Amino acid sequence: MCGICGVWNYKNCDPVNRDLQKSMTDRMIHRGPDDRVLYFDDAAGIGLGFRRLAIIDLSPAARQPMSNEDGSVWLVFNGEIYNFHTLRPKLEKRGHSFHSNSEIEVIIHNYEERGSNILSDLNGMFGLAIWDAPKRRLVMARDRLGKKPLYYYRDSKRLIFLSELKAILADPFVPREINETALAEYLALGYVSAQQTVFKGINKVLPGHSLIFEGERIEVRRYWDWLPAFQVKAVRSEGEYIEELRALLKTIVAER
């Protein structure tokens, strides 16, 4: 399952409180009992945390937060990418080297090539955050259908993101004001729609979307839309649709 979190003091670039970062990861230990790793860039005022549930590559080489070779790009990632085996050979042909069998390295090297455009390449379920140190940019994204959670809080001085809502409450300075609209939705429908949460000021990254933070500037991008997939391009026979469905099912089961 895994759990990710991070704090960026983007306004004044103050060093992130170590105890706060540890407390946030402690509250997600059930998501990742195998390991906890913290990374801090005090010059930029950012800290990243990760709780690990080791599944694909069990070695220390797959620990997160993970960086590229020169430490300019860092990634924390929760989820699984089903097509990383097809993406990796393309990156190796372009000169990228790998030190683990994890999909995490694939995402990092692909980001080096394509920036935030990599999201359309990823077939899987995920919540992720990429810290691009030279550009002082934080990219957050959630998978196409929102299978993996990703929450964030932003005020005039800092940004906090996490895999679980309760972990953000480790910070006593985050407001606890109830979002009455979201509460009413939950009681009536059993869920909270869109980007809202039960707390005012704490939001969800929407499925199929990315958020790009560059200090006080925020850009919201929708990288995937379900509607084009359901547009009929040509009428075919029932048998052709059956064969296509069978082939798709075989492919997705094999990938998983």
Which residues are designated catalytic?
A: 2
Helix residue ranges per DSSP H, 117-232: 165-168, 180-189
C-alpha dihedral sign at 104, 158, 16, 52: negative
Q: Please state the three-class secondary structure of 203-215 as a single string.
A: EECCCCEEEEEEC
CA distance 151 to 168: 9
Hey, which residues does 222 pair with through a beta bridge? 209
CB atoms within 10 A of CB 84: 23
Q: In the sheet where 46-52 sits, what is the strand order? A: 35-41, 46-52, 3-8, 159-162, 151-154, 202-204
C-alpha dihedral sign at 42, 98, 32, 151: positive
- Asked if 170 contacts 20 with a C-beta cutoff of 8 angstroms, the reply is yes
- Asked if 222 contacts 208 with a C-beta cutoff of 8 angstroms, the reply is yes
- Asked if 211 contacts 140 with a C-beta cutoff of 8 angstroms, the reply is yes
Q: Which amino acid is at 18?
A: R
Tokens of 162: 């996490």
